[in-house]
């Protein structure tokens, strides 16, 4: 059965689904806001590829040192043992799929992946010949029933516009596992085609996803879907349960990526050198700084946006400092701050000559944001509201 109707989802899974999409959307905005240098983004894309290759092979019982995987991905060593060549063939399979992003899912893709992952792995070896004990591997043919099921699945996915691509990717992943396509490499094929689908639909988070990592962490539960761990209840469970498991895996990956982005953001603002209050502000900026970009030019002018950018990366700023920065008079900057104060984007810190402006962590509409502020500031703010 293909879970084509989202109405079939239970309330818990529906909530998990919407929460996952919301967090993914927020993380995309955070990624755009912190504006990582291209060489850093490329480094992390390469690291994610290493993780995908390493854990996909580990799920298929080809556990090899991750440094070896890194060297193979980077082209620094030539694979020799069959375990190392398994890594190489997986890389070739992923690279090939990246050349097919404009093509729909098809059974021919499955057969080509089988060729790369199984046939070429065992046949293109120096120790395979007419006189060796290592026999030649021949391509496997799917039976008619399996081909019909795959045709129906691929036709649905290629034409569906109702189900979200992230959910579609898990439908694809677990259906391929359920069908037990070939004698081996079924988990690899499921992982490869899921990543292909997410990349094709532009939901692979700029190439930083490595869902295989989360699957390996939860491999005891995942092995049930692989058919390696007998659990009668789960094997007989509806497809909705596997979708729920998949969405939880995706949510875990989003949290892992958020931690990674937070690490880079803290390096940008030299977080360790900041005082407690500035750290609170920077924590808030990381979570919500992207909201600044959602103000169009009818709300904030370019100078006001730049003022907010400066405050978010310095923590505090005074009118005098900005007068020098923009080479304009104090009244112009003061009018800008009046607008920012009215929008609750900044707050006043200090008095007189020591007066400065900071990110408004405590907002009237969102009291939960108080957790980002020091207790003293929260207490003073609440007292001012009561007054």
| Domain residue spans of the chain | 6-263, 283-386
What pLDDT sits at residue 372?
Answer: 44
Helix axes 66-73, 38-59, angle to 10 degrees: 120
Q: Which residue has the tokens 């439908």?
A: 171
87: nearest Cα among 99, 79, 95, 96: 79
Secondary structure (DSSP) of 192-239: HHHHHHHHHTT-SGGGT--HHHHHHHTHHHHHHHHTSS--HHHHTS-H
243: nearest Cα among 164, 187, 158, 182: 164
Model confidence, pTM? 0.77
174: nearest Cα among 254, 85, 113, 238: 238
Interatomic CA distance for residues 335 and 303, integer angstroms:
11
We find that the CATH architecture of domain 6-263 is Orthogonal Bundle (1.10)
Q: Which residues of the chain have pLDDT under 70?
A: 1-9, 125-136, 228-238, 292-298, 361-387
Alpha helices of the chain — where are they, by DSSP H? 11-34, 38-59, 66-73, 82-98, 107-114, 120-123, 144-159, 165-179, 186-200, 211-217, 219-226, 232-235, 239-268, 276-288, 302-314, 319-326, 330-342, 375-386
What pLDDT sits at residue 292?
Answer: 66
Q: Give the CA dihedral 182, 187, 191, 194, nearest 10 degrees.
A: 60
Interatomic CA distance for residues 263 and 282, integer angstroms:
12
Phi–psi pair at 225, nearest 5 degrees: -75, -25
Structure-token pair, residue 16: 């998990």
What pLDDT sits at residue 59?
Answer: 94
Which CATH code is given to the segment(s) 283-386?
A: 1.10.10.10
Residues in contact with 26: Cβ distance below 8 Å, sequence separation at least 6, in sequence order: 290
């Amino acid at each position: 059965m293909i879970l084509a109707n989202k109405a079939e989802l239970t309330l818990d899974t529906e909530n998990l689904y919407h929460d996952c999409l919301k967090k993914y959307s927020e993380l995309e905005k955070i990624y755009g806001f912190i504006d990582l240098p291209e060489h850093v983004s490329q480094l992390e894309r390469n690291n994610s590829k290493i993780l995908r290759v390493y854990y996909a092979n580990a799920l298929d019982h080809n556990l090899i040192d991750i440094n070896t995987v890194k060297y193979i991905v980077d082209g620094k060593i030539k694979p020799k043992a069959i375990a190392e060549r398994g890594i190489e063939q997986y890389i070739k399979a992923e690279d090939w799929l990246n050349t097919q992003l404009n093509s729909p899912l098809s059974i021919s893709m499955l057969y080509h992946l089988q060729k790369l992952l199984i046939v070429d792995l065992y046949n293109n070896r120096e120790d395979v010949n007419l006189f060796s004990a290592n026999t030649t591997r021949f391509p496997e043919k799917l039976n008619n029933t399996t081909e019909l099921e795959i045709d129906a699945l691929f036709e649905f996915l290629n034409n569906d516009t109702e189900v979200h691509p992230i959910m579609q990717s898990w439908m694809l992943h677990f259906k391929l596992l359920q069908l037990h396509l070939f004698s081996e490499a079924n988990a690899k094929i499921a992982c490869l085609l899921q990543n292909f689908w997410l990349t094709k639909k532009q939901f692979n988070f700029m190439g930083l996803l490595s869902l295989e990592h989360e699957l390996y962490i939860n491999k005891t539960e995942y092995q049930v879907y692989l058919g390696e761990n007998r659990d009668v209840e789960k094997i007989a469970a509806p497809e909705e349960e596997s979708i729920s498991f998949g969405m939880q895996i995706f949510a875990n990956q989003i949290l892992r990526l958020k931690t990674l982005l937070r690490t880079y953001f803290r390096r940008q603002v030299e977080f360790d050198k900041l005082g407690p209050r500035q750290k609170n502000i920077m924590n808030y900026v990381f979570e919500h700084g992207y909201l600044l970009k959602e103000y169009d030019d009818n709300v904030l002018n370019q100078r006001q946006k730049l003022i907010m950018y400066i405050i978010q990366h310095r923590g505090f700023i005074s009118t005098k400092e900005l007068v020098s920065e923009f080479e304009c008079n104090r009244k112009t900057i003061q009018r800008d701050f009046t607008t920012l104060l009215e929008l609750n984007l900044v707050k006043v810190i200090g008095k007189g000559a020591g007066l400065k402006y900071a990110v408004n962590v405590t907002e009237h509409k969102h009291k939960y944001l108080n957790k980002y502020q020091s207790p003293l500031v929260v207490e003073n703010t609440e007292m001012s509201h009561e007054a």
